[in-house]
């Protein structure tokens, strides 16, 4: 199988992040691949299967630990397109290298945060010049676009990275819709519901009385509200994304919404990895208080998180709505 990369392209850079030990958070996050709600990737895999050709290059933006790339390599094993994972997390990207680094079709690049400029590197600052000007045939972003702060600049960098006629495949369970079917959720909005229910549980149950102090103190609770909304950003409406894509030069081809069943056990497993952001006020947070919670407080926090989840979703599961947006960089006339 012919390599999809130029001869001078180094698939795994000889950089510190690529040689670091595997991180616990990345390993824990990677387990979501086995969660039922990660069937949200099925539609994206189908769309990419219909579009990608053997000679193509796919840019997996925010590709993280390589969950999508792993599926594509397995399901399209004989189709020799290349996949370049680009991500801003060195720990997630390190795990992707551990899983997929021996695959000749795979490449990896880190989007570094430039502290002095308070921004992430652009694609053009990260991706080798050897991959331009032909660029990429497709770009995919799964379960991530709702996290982008500088969305307009990010989308414009996508436009420049794609060849004329290249496609963009976007999906997220955290895009606001003007109409939601009864009983359906935008998945990160569950975090606010869990937080509110947790406050009720702590206020009403004697065994948690030691954690009540922040509840009546808006000044103490506010930093935790800010922290939670950094971990789980407020939901932006779909028009925000569609208009930004069009302003960046893309043409919207299709917008689809699909229900995805999420099981409480699996959502708890995911949220427990981010317990400091969800319920940091239970026992305190080093980011805010300057000292870490005790192991006992963390154990209590996780129990309150579980109790709140069970109270909000008594049936043991809930229906989340995923949005899929396919767009293209129009052919040049």
Q: What per-residue string of b and e applies to 132-141 under the rule 16 or more CB within 10 Å gives b?
A: eeebbbbbbb
Query: What percent of the chain has a predicted confidence (pLDDT) above 90?
Result: 79
- Give me the pLDDT at residue 1, please: 65
- Crossing angle of helices 295-312 and 264-272, in 10° steps, is 150
Nearest to 327 by CA among 142, 139, 54: 139
- Crossing angle of helices 264-272 and 189-204, in 10° steps, is 90
In this prediction the pTM is 0.92
Judge whether 298 and 283 are in contact, CB under 8 Å.
yes
pLDDT (tens digit, 9 = 90+) per residue, 10-50? 999 999 999 999 988 888 877 777 777 789 999 999 999 99
pLDDT (tens digit, 9 = 90+) per residue, 71-83? 999 999 999 999 9
pLDDT (tens digit, 9 = 90+) per residue, 86-140? 999 999 999 999 999 999 999 999 999 898 888 888 898 999 888 887 789 999 9
- Give me the pLDDT at residue 281, please: 96
Residues of the chain with CATH 3.40.50.150: 16-172
- Give me the pLDDT at residue 333, please: 61
Q: How many CB atoms lie within 10 A of CB 117?
A: 8
Judge whether 177 and 238 are in contact, CB under 8 Å.
yes
Nearest to 171 by CA among 157, 190, 187, 150: 187
Is the link from the previous residue into 133 a cis peptide, with omega within 30 of 0? yes
Asked whether the predicted pLDDT for residue 304 surpasses 70, the reply is yes
Strand, helix or coil for residue 319? strand
Average pLDDT over residues 54-76: 95
Tokens of 285: 């947070």
The topology (CATH level 3) of 16-172 is Rossmann fold (3.40.50)
Tokens of 257: 């919404």
- The phi-psi region of residue 121 (left if phi > 0; otherwise alpha if psi is between -120 and 50; otherwise beta) is beta
pLDDT (tens digit, 9 = 90+) per residue, 221-266? 999 999 999 889 889 999 999 999 999 999 999 999 999 999 999 9
pLDDT (tens digit, 9 = 90+) per residue, 279-296? 999 999 999 989 999 999
Tokens of 296: 């006992």
Main-chain dihedrals φ then ψ at residue 240, nearest 5 degrees:
-60, -45
pLDDT (tens digit, 9 = 90+) per residue, 140-163? 999 999 999 889 999 999 999 999
In whole angstroms, what is the distance from residue 98 CA to residue 84 CA?
15
pLDDT band at 172 (very low <50, low <70, confident <90, very high): very high
| DSSP conformational letter for 273 | T
Rounded to a whole number of angstroms, the CA Rg of the chain reads 21
Average pLDDT over residues 51-71: 95
Average pLDDT over residues 2-16: 90
């Amino acid at each position: 199988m012919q390599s999809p990369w130029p001869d001078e392209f180094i698939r795994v850079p000889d950089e510190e992040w690529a040689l670091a030990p595997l991180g616990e958070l990345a390993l824990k996050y990677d387990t979501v691949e086995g969660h039922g709600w990660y069937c949200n990737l099925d539609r994206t895999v189908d769309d990419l299967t219909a579009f990608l050709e053997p000679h193509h290059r796919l840019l997996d933006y925010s590709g993280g630990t390589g969950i999508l790339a792993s599926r594509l390599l397995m399901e399209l094993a004989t189709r020799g397109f290349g996949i370049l994972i680009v991500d801003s997390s060195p720990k997630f990207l390190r795990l992707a290298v551990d899983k997929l680094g021996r695959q000749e079709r795979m490449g990896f690049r880190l989007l570094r945060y430039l502290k002095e400029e308070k921004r992430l590197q652009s694609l053009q600052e990260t991706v080798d010049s050897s991959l331009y000007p032909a660029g990429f045939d497709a770009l995919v972003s799964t379960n991530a676009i709702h996290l982008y702060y500088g969305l307009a600049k990010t989308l414009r960098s996508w436009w420049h990275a794609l060849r004329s006629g290249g496609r963009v495949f976007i999906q997220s369970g955290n895009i606001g819709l003007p109409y939601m079917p009864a009983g359906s959720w935008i998945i990160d909005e569950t975090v606010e519901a869990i937080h509110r229910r947790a406050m009720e549980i702590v206020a009403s149950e004697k065994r948690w009385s030691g954690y009540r102090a922040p509840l009546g103190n808006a000044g103490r609770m506010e930093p935790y509200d800010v922290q939670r909304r950094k971990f789980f950003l407020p939901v932006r409406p779909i028009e925000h994304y569609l208009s930004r894509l069009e302003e960046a030069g893309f043409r919207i081809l299709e917008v689809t919404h699909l229900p995805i069943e999420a099981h409480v056990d699996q959502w708890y497993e995911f949220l427990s990895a981010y317990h400091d952001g969800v319920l940091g006020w239970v026992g305190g947070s080093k980011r805010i208080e300057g000292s870490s919670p005790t192991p006992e407080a963390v154990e209590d926090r996780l129990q309150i998180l579980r109790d709140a989840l069970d109270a909000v979703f008594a049936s043991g599961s809930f229906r989340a709505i995923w949005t899929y947006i396919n767009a293209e960089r129009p052919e040049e006339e």
